[in-house]
Structures are given as C-alpha cells and as structure tokens.
Amino acid sequence: MKNSNKIFVMGGLLLAAALTACGGTGNSSTAGSSAAASSSTAATQEIHIQLVPSNDPATLLTRATALAPMLAKYTPGFTYKIDVGTTYAATTTALVNGQIDGGFLTASGYAQETIENAGKVTVLLSASRAGYKVQADDFTGFTADAKTKQLAAMNGEIKADGTALTKDQYCGADAYKYRGDQSKTEVSFYSGLMMSLRDSARTALGLKTLDSDGDGRITLKELHDNEAVIGIMGFLGGGFATVFGLVFVLSDYLGTNGKNNWATGNLWAIELPFLGASVLMLISCAVLFWKIKENKLEAELAPEMKRGEKEAAIVDSVEDDDEKPMSKANKRMLLLILAAEVLWFFADNAIGTYIGNYTIYYLLASSKSTMINTIIGGLASVAGFIAAGPIADKIGRKWTISLGLGLYIIGVAIMCFVRPSGTVLSDGYHSFPWLLYVVWGVKGFGWALINTCSFPMVVELCSSKKIGKFTGYYYAASMSAQSLTPIVLGIIFKATQVWWVLPIYSLCFIVASFIVFLFVANVKAHKVENKKGLEALGGDD
C-alpha cells in the first residue's frame, strides 16, 4: 500500500501545481479549510479538488484529508478542500458548472465534455497506458464478435488475418502468435485475462482434463462443469431433510403402529424439522444477498450470453429488440413446453404431497420408509443429472426429456400394481413393498432428465434481456401446477375414499404431458451447451 500512497500524493502535488498556476476559485480560507491558514494578514486562496469514487469513498476521503496539508506546504498562499464525488458523473458535472477547481475524469468522460461543453474543461495532467496489440491493433472493437475474435487469436485458434483453423491446427505454424505484445496505441480501458492450462499440459501434470466436448477449447462453462461444487448443495439439502425424517418419524408421532415412544404426541417431533429448515433458509438467503453480485456477473458474461443466443436450439433466432414479438414457431414451442411442464408437475407433486399419507394409511408402513425411498430416488437423480448433458448432446433436449417422461411413466405404472405387504414387523408397522424402491429409482432418473433440459429450452427462446421474464414463465407454470394438484387430488380422495388412486392420477397426467411434448419441435444446435456433471444437481425438484 506504500507505493499506491506515493502515487496518490504525487498525483495530488502535480494537480495542485497546475491549479495554483491557473489560480483557484479565489475564496478566502475559512475554519473548515483542509489546511491551516498562517497568521499572515495576506488572503489565501482555496482550491477545491474532487476525486471520483474509483475506490471505497471513505478510504479515499481519509487519504485526501491527509493530503491537503501536504499540498498547502508546497504551495504557499493556497489552502485545499478535497472531497469525493458521489459518482463519476457528479464530479464531471461539478467541474463543468464551476463548483470545483479540479477533478479526476475518465478518458471517456473528458471526451464527452469536449463535445457537450467545448472549451470548459482543460486537461492539466493525464495518465495513459498502451493496450494489447491483439485488441488495440489486430482485432479491434468491443462487440461480442470482436471479443470472440480476440479470444480465439489469443488461444491460437485463428490466423493473423482472422481465418478460422481446424482443431488439429490450433497453435500451429499458421496460427496467430500471442505473446502479450503491447501496442503503441494508447487506450482508455483495462484488460483482464483468466487463463487455464490446455488439456495436453494438464494430462502431463496428472490433472484431469476440462475439454468435455472435445472441440479443442476450454470454456468458462466447461471449467465450471468439471470443477462443479455448488450444484451438489441441492442434493445435500435434500439429504439433510431426509436425515430429519429418519430421526423425527411422523408415523411415530401419530402413533399409527399402536405403540408409544418419545415421539408419540410430542409436538417437537414435527416442529424441529421445520425450525431447522427455517434456519437453513435464512442462512442461504443471507449468503445469496451478500455474495452473489448479479449485475456484475451479467456484464462479465455478456459475450457468453450472446454466443448462447446464436447457438440456441430453437426454431427461429431470437432478437435483442424488446419490442419485436416472438415468431409464431417459437411462441408455439414455448406454449407447448409450458403446457407439458404444467402436466408433469401435476403428476410429480401429487406423489410428492401425498406419498407420506399413502405410506402410513394405505401401506400401513413407517414414514421412515419414505425417507429411505427418498434417498434411493435422490441417488438415481444424481445419476440422471450427470447423464442428462451427454445424452442431450447426442439426441437433443426434446428426446432427452421424452426419455425421462417415458421412464417416469414406467415407474408410476408399476406403482399402480403395488399393494400393502400384509407382513407385520416387530415395531408394529407393515413391511414396505420393495417394488417401490425400484419405482423411485426409475422415476428419479427420469425426473432428472426432464428437469435438466426443460428450463434451458424455455430461456433459449428469448434474448439475454428477457431471461428474467421467461424464467418467470417457467416457474409460474411449475408453481401453479404444484399449488393446484394437491387440491384437485384431495377432492378426488374425498370422493373415492381410497389411497390407491394416487399412482393412477399421477400416471394420467404424466402420459398427457408426454403426448403434448411430442408436438414440441426437435431442434438441435450445432453446439448445444447442456448441463453436465454435478452442475445439473441444482435443477428443479
């Protein structure tokens, strides 16, 4: 930090020297001045300097306060008031309006004022830097296409004239040679690079490879997929809830086995799981609020988002124009996906809502069995999440989802034939039918295939500017179905007075969703980036 302080002081001294040569605002020094006035009867001039908030404003103000007496020492007859502008624009406006004598502007800010307020602003000192040759001279521009070219050049994937190379020619004799060359052109932007070893170098060092699709490039997504840690938290959360269900057994609280233990009639047996979930929810909300900088990520990933729009597996390309309506083909595709989504969530949440009652009152088994079933379904889902990406790359998202729906149909169809075992165990409960463990394994794998691919199919139908809107469509469809299906099935239970109607109800809706989804267009892009590995664990459940 010592070096940065010296630079800060030197910059202030240079600016002060320039301003004193020009003359300040001519104000008499007051008690609030940043530097103490001498006992001389001669009037002193105050120079008002404002810094832009390029760093923490409080830190800048602390340093500025310390700088003022130093400036006064070297420039007799002048005192200094140094503060920090609320924004870059505020400092520019204050300078143009004569409210301050000097300010630090960006190059773009100065350029704007020379046009809008010609002759009002003069450069007293400036700092400039050379750009990288690949950006400033060879492949200029700030568009997504220009940045893609610059990245390809730095990775040796194109020739010096911009011609594309094949994978086996990357970094070869004809490839652009990037060695961090500096340009003679001065620029007003910073360049940041993030680098990763190529797979050949990683293999030599005994590290796992990252290029999942084998195209010779390592993208941010592939780097994330192969180092995915965050996605697994969804499964760990489900595992945490399952442990609660194994310890605090609902059927023991209800006493359905005719025997008493610590949980029978004990309110804490059902309250503690909810309290634990509430604490975890508050912690997760706090982490999300403080750690996820969404606007910053949006800006950083803008080129990747633009590339994704071009490679989307949709019928017609999407436009950035907010006012331009969706094409008929894309709108039809969206409506069919959402309709199918409503139907499959009607099917799945019906089972999710009533499987506890089905187990306790129809199978006469312990609710602990449901938790074991959840573990089996969760493990099958992990396998499905890992397999979904590669499968979708081979056959497309439509047929991957269709495969998932087919597996779900098979699982629920088997469930329709399950009956109470009739075998009473020592704890008073009936044994849990082993066939349901198979059902949950098959159903869990299929459900993972559905959820991994369905959300990307919806958001690919819009530009990056409308992702929030289309995400709302997706979750409005899923949440409305999850809210309505318990009510509808509850009415059916009340009318029929039988629990075995549960799998039949679910089977009807999942078959309906399969039929609707068959009408969705199967579009496979040239290079579709599907969720792979552990990243997919963060999907809907």
3-state secondary structure 418-451: CCCCCCECCCCCECCCCHHHHHHHHHHHHHHHHH
- 272 and 363 share one domain: yes
Residues 184, 160: Cα–Cα separation, whole Å: 18
Residue 116 has pLDDT above 60, yes or no: yes
pLDDT at 213: 64
- 317 and 430 share one domain: yes
Residue 227 in domain = no
pLDDT at 242: 63
The residue segments making up the domain with residue 424 are: 232-538
Computed from CA positions of residues 452, 455, 458, 460, in that sequence, does the dihedral angle turn out positive or negative? negative
What digits encode the pLDDT tens for the residues 309-352?
Answer: 555 444 445 555 556 677 888 889 999 999 999 999 999 999 98
Identity of the highest mean pLDDT range in 1-15, 232-246, 525-539: 232-246
What digits encode the pLDDT tens for the residues 303-313?
Answer: 665 555 555 44
pLDDT at 335: 93
pLDDT at 229: 37
102-103 and 78-84: which strand pairing? unpaired
pLDDT at 26: 40
- 322 and 365 share one domain: yes
Contact predicate 427/259, CB 8 Å: yes
| Residue scoring higher pLDDT (105 or 375) | 375
Contact predicate 510/408, CB 8 Å: yes
- 91 and 49 share one domain: yes
pLDDT at 514: 96
Provide the domain count of the chain: 3
Point out the domain boundary residue: 127, 155, 182. Answer: 127
Residue 526 has pLDDT above 80, yes or no: no
Q: What is the mean pLDDT of the chain?
A: 74
- 344 and 470 share one domain: yes
- 108 and 161 share one domain: no
Residue 132 has pLDDT above 90, yes or no: no
What's the half-sphere exposure (Cβ side, CA atoms, 13 Å) at 224? 12
pLDDT at 379: 85
**Among 84-88, 319-323, 376-380, 392-396, whose mean pLDDT is lowest?**
319-323
Largest CA distance in the chain: 108
Q: How confident is the model at residue 469 (pLDDT cuts 50, 70, 90)?
A: confident
Q: What is the mean pLDDT of residues 471-500?
A: 92
Point out the domain boundary residue: 112, 127, 142. Answer: 127
Point out the domain boundary residue: 199, 221, 243. Answer: 221
Q: How confident is the model at residue 461 (pLDDT cuts 50, 70, 90)?
A: confident
What digits encode the pLDDT tens for the residues 205-258?
Answer: 565 666 666 666 665 455 544 443 333 445 555 556 666 666 666 666 666 656
Residues 71, 48: Cα–Cα separation, whole Å: 12
Q: How confident is the model at residue 276 (pLDDT cuts 50, 70, 90)?
A: confident
- 253 and 402 share one domain: yes
- 117 and 160 share one domain: no
- 471 and 527 share one domain: yes
Q: Counting every residue, how long is the chain?
A: 541
Residue 205 in domain = yes
pLDDT at 317: 54
Residues 19, 122: Cα–Cα separation, whole Å: 11
Residue 509 has pLDDT above 80, yes or no: yes
Residue 226 in domain = no
Q: What is the mean pLDDT of residues 368-396?
A: 84
Contacts of residues 75-79 at CB distance under 8 Å and 24 or more positions apart, as own/partner, are: 75/16, 75/17, 75/20, 77/20, 77/42, 77/44, 77/45, 78/16, 78/20, 78/24, 78/44, 78/45, 78/46, 78/47, 79/29, 79/33, 79/34, 79/35, 79/37, 79/44, 79/45, 79/46, 79/47
C-alpha pair distances (Å), 91 with each of 32, 87, 105, 108: 21, 7, 8, 13
Contact predicate 371/245, CB 8 Å: yes
What percentage of the chain reaches a pLDDT higher than 70?
62
What digits encode the pLDDT tens for the residues 11-56?
Answer: 444 455 545 545 444 443 332 333 333 333 345 677 888 888 877 7
pLDDT at 441: 93
- Residue 461: φ, ψ to 5°: -85, 5
The residues that bridge with 49 in the sheet, in sequence order, are 82, 102
